[in-house]
């Protein structure tokens, strides 16, 4: 059984600019043993494209939502559209949603309200959450604020994508029963590599975050899901596991979490 890439952006404009189709990306992924992919929206337009691309490919699923860095650009009507999109057949989660304080502190309260609105949509459709949480430097304000909101809504099904935090944060997420998704950053970030051992295999997922976060040796180039085996190889080494066992375990975690029978 192949790798489940739980977070990629086949809908990203970068691929469009390069004249690379979702068909090309999916073909390359399958040839590399990445046979399931979540196509993640970051605003209304990209979420609609994610749904269309998921319908086009049997092994692609859609996640719809508005990224925290973009929520200040959208009025309440956008959340009505998101609520409609959540009904699409192959939508498996709401995301990527969360809090990102890394660019500016100007929209913190807007981000919090947007997160709450999107959590309500997820819960009304019985869908899990794909979370984006990013702080400034060593601050943990966004992390703490996001978890406070998730706990206030009694969220039980959350995966934190692009995790790049501490052992203490891992412990908090595991205590809540949340999942942690790791991408190519682990192939170059020594501090992240050190804490991987603290993530129980039952709480681990893997992602490409394509077209971003390419693993070594593809630094500073466009990323693709087909590069994900480079990440699973390093993760298996860090976890002292057989790579096939890691792939099987993370796939089982993801298919169960997203409700996919494959």
Looking at the predicted structure, is the pLDDT value of residue 101 above 80? yes
207-254 pLDDT per residue, tens: 999 999 999 999 889 999 999 999 999 999 999 999 999 999 999 999
- pTM over 0.75, yes/no: yes
Average pLDDT over residues 88-108: 96
How far apart, in Å, are the Cα atoms of 22 and each of 9, 57, 95, 181, 210? 10, 9, 20, 23, 12
Confirm or deny that 161 is annotated as ligand binding. yes
* pLDDT at residue 224 in the model: 98
- Provide φ and ψ at 249, rounded to 5°: -70, -45
31 is in an annotated binding site: no
> Distance between CA 113 and CA 27 in Å, rounded?
39
CA distances to 7, 54, 131 from 180, rounded to whole Å, are 12, 23, 10
Q: Do the annotations mark residue 83 as ligand-binding?
A: no
Domains present along the chain, CATH in parentheses: 3-258 (3.20.20.140)
Tell whether the model's pLDDT for residue 261 goes beyond 90: no
72 marked as part of a ligand binding site: no
On the question of pLDDT at 135 being above 80, the answer is: yes
7 known member of a binding site: yes
Q: What is the per-residue pLDDT across 157-188, written as a single tens digit (0 to 9) for each?
A: 999 999 999 999 999 999 999 999 999 999 99
* Sign of the CA dihedral with 257 first, then 174, 202, and 245 last: positive
């Amino acid at each position: 059984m192949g790798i489940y890439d739980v977070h990629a952006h086949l809908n990203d404009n970068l691929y469009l600019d390069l004249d690379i189709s979702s068909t090309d990306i999916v073909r390359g992924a399958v040839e590399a043993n990445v046979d399931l992919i979540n196509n993640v929206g970051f605003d209304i337009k990209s979420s609609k494209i994610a749904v269309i691309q998921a319908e086009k490919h049997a092994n692609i699923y859609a996640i719809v939502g508005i990224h925290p860095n973009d929520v200040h650009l959208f009025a309440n009507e956008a959340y009505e559209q998101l609520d409609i999109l959540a009904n699409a057949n192959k939508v498996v989660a709401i995301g990527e949603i969360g809090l990102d304080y890394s660019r500016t502190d100007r929209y913190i309260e807007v981000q919090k309200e947007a997160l709450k609105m999107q959590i309500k949509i997820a819960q009304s459709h019985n869908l899990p959450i794909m979370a984006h949480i990013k702080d400034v430097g060593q601050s943990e304000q966004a992390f703490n604020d996001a978890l406070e909101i998730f706990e206030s809504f009694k969220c039980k099904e959350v995966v934190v994508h692009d995790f790049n935090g501490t052992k203490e944060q891992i412990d908090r997420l595991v205590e809540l029963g949340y999942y942690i998704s790791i991408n190519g950053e682990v192939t170059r970030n020594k501090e992240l590599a050190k804490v991987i051992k603290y993530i129980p295999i039952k709480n681990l997922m893997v992602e490409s975050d394509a077209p971003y976060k390419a693993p070594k040796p593809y630094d500073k180039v466009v990323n693709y899901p087909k590069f994900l085996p480079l990440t699973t190889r390093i993760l298996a080494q860090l976890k002292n596991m057989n790579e096939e066992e890691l792939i099987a375990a993370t796939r089982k975690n993801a298919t169960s979490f997203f409700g996919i029978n494959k």
